[in-house]
Amino acid sequence: MTKALTPPVAKKVPHNMEIHGHQRTDNYYWMRDDKRQNEEVLSHLKAENSYCEAVMKPYSALQDTLFTEMKGRIVKDDSSVPVKDGRYWYTNEVSGEEEYGRHYRGLNEAMDSKELLLDVNELAKDHEFYDLAELMVSPDDQLLAYCEDTDGRRIYTTRFKDIANNTLLEDVLIETEGQIVWGNDNKSVFYVKKDLQTLLGFQVYRHILGTPQSDDVLVYEELDRQFYMGLGKSRDESQIFIYLSSTETSDILFLDANNPCGEFKPLLTRQEGHEYGLEKFGDYYYLLTNSDAKNFRMVRATAEDINDPTKWEEVIAHREQVLLEGLELFDSHFVITERERGQIRFVIHDYQGSSYQLGFEDECYYAGVAYNPEPSATRVRISYSSLTTPSSVYDCDLATGQKTLKKQVQVLGDFSPADYASERLHITARDGKKVPVSIVYKKSLFNKDGTNPLLQYGYGAYGYTIDPIFSSSILSLLDRGFVYVIAHIRGSEMLGRQWYEHGKKAYKENSFNDFVDVTRALVKQQYGASDKIFASGGSAGGLLMGAVMNQAPELYQGIGCHVPFLDVLTTMLDETIPLTTNEYDEWGNPNDKQYYDVILSYSPYDNLTAKSYPNTLVTTGLHDSQVQYWEPMKWVAKLRELKTDNNLLVFKTDMDSGHGGASGRFKSLHEKALEMAFFISLLPERQAD
């Protein structure tokens, strides 16, 4: 790869910060522009984009080939499996070269005489970015509400449509969270209003159709800005819920859906450290609670007894090695999602105490309860995927467990699952903990002789588990001999709640150590060649990449670092930055010296030093509302200043998108093709060309 091009060099303007008697100087603090209008900042980002394009130009044909391969595997005309909700069946269809789908409903599963609800292509045609967050039909099936974001900041506008007349109502709700709930009167709707500075949802309003938004009534405001806010409706549609959650505490308020002008009331007394999920069905509330149960247990109680834990009836006891992840209630049965040793299973229970397990046979896979809006259904719909099995939809008989495959995503071309193999390893980390690892490769190109290129992916935060699912895009690497690895490091809940707790706050270093130790073990076990190891991560996984690069840069030939959280200390000290206050329970509050010192010890931006670093590709979105663009921008500038090697450092900013990247089913493939081409171009045999 060419080294003759000159990268942009950013100016240095010292900005001094002091807290707890400790001083830091940030020479690139000037790159922050909340309004995204500073010409100097925009010019520098454009210069970085030009440099990235110039560096990758010799591999433009490879990028085009990769994009064509990935796009060529996608069925152009496709539809989702229809779902029954009330009188109607609903489905989504895509066709041809279109980026977005069309939403329909019909009176039977065959979708005879289907009715068009919304054409997302038409809505998106005048926008570089378009995201449809939610589509909700009124209880009487006459009106449609939908929430759209056209700049990637996750600030949504809600619109309403008369379905029969195919006309928009005059009602428009701006600056919302992208979620609405209908009252049972078909004219009241509830929505969460955004704080435009922090981009946190903190207020719930009631809107009456036919009135201006300025007349909407504030029904709840959350004063503790550590809480996220969402809305929902009970399984039996009798109550509307306001869901409040911080990293370590849950709270729910409720309102009679038949009396939407009533008052929201707390369901349980808020208790710090109490996390729970709840569903109402008939005379009972059902809870998955961590009260006296780190990995959660299931209890139930009547409305009269729900706020008195001494009166809770235990349905499923706590188990040390089994994490309860989800609950779905039906008239005849309920379905519990469990995870043990990293693997998901379902347990189907009747209400008389009998149960059975429902599992799958792949060595490592993901399965989840899909959308099941009808409590009276006799089958539960489940989604399934593995590293070698494309996304599949099953209907499972609740009484017998018999599975019926409704659809499996077709992969065009010469793909055959039998050509690929997956494995689940448990690799010993430096402190003796066993880290689960999911691996996939093409059988004919893998000999376990230490010659294969290897790409290792990780995340490791918020208790979010990256499960092993099928990706048709990854086939482009597997078919070139790559081994693809997911390291299920601490910070996820892969091995239960304790696995998460030992990867956050004061224990965050475990996430980074796990990732590095997995890499070293895979090289030692000859899954990958020592000079062909690549790593990738995004968002909190981008923090992981930055920390890993500081700890063990010599292990990696190339790094992909996407929408990365890199300037952790400065961000967590600034409550005006979106999401900061919600993150204290994840990273610690650095206004407390204990956590200041912890974050300072690993924050990727603060720990850059003069040494050699791997070849690195960094991407972000100008309108990112979760990790602001200036974090990777500053990090790249500082890394360029300090690194002592001649390795590549390229930085690309999508000037139209936010945290989720480009919208549409094809546009995002360009980003994947860029990273794959970057990695492939760094292979020793490529560089020798």
Q: Are strands 78-79 and 88-94 parallel, antiparallel or unpaired?
A: antiparallel
Alpha-carbon distance values, 506 to 108, 493, 590, 595 (Å): 54, 17, 11, 7
The amino acid occupying position 220 is Y
CA–CA separation, 549 and 556 (whole Å): 8
* Cβ-count burial 476-500 (b if 16+ within 10 Å, e if not): bbbbbbbbbbbbbbbbbbbbbbebb
Name residue, tokens 């449809």: 132
Tokens of 325: 């992840």
Name residue, tokens 């078909």: 186
CB of 620 within 8 A of CB of 654?
A: yes
CA–CA separation, 281 and 318 (whole Å): 22
The amino acid occupying position 210 is G
CA–CA separation, 187 and 605 (whole Å): 50
The amino acid occupying position 391 is S
CA–CA separation, 277 and 297 (whole Å): 11
Active-site annotation holder among 472, 539, 603, 663: 539
Tokens of 273: 């450290």
Q: Is 633 helix (H, G, I), strand (E, B) or coil?
A: helix
Active-site annotation holder among 103, 207, 488, 659: 659
CA–CA separation, 234 and 238 (whole Å): 6
Alpha-carbon distance values, 160 to 59, 92, 145, 271, 548 (Å): 46, 19, 4, 38, 47
CB of 326 within 8 A of CB of 316?
A: no
Beta strands of 290-350 (E only): which ranges? Answer: 297-302, 313-316, 322-329, 333-340, 343-350
* Cβ-count burial 602-620 (b if 16+ within 10 Å, e if not): bbbbbebeeeebbbbbbbb
The amino acid occupying position 387 is L
For the four alpha carbons of 266, 269, 273 and 275, in that order, the dihedral sign comes to negative
What are the φ/ψ torsions at residue 60 (nearest 5 degrees)? -65, -40
How many C-beta neighbours within 10 Å does residue 37 have? 8
The amino acid occupying position 394 is Y
Active-site annotation holder among 514, 624, 657, 663: 624
What are the φ/ψ torsions at residue 340 (nearest 5 degrees)? -135, 130
What are the φ/ψ torsions at residue 586 (nearest 5 degrees)? -90, -50
CA–CA separation, 484 and 668 (whole Å): 20
CA–CA separation, 514 and 387 (whole Å): 22
CB of 67 within 8 A of CB of 52?
A: no
Residue 624 is a catalytic residue: yes
What are the φ/ψ torsions at residue 425 (nearest 5 degrees)? -105, 160
Beta strands of 95-166 (E only): which ranges? Answer: 102-106, 115-119, 131-137, 143-149, 156-162
CA–CA separation, 108 and 92 (whole Å): 15
The amino acid occupying position 390 is P
3-state SS record for 492-560:
ECCCCHHHHHCCCHHHCHHHHHHHHHHHHHHHHCCCCCCCCEEEEEECHHHHHHHHHHHHCHHHCCEEE
Residue 539 is a catalytic residue: yes
Strand partners, 486: 438, 457
> Which residues are known to be catalytic?
539, 624, 659
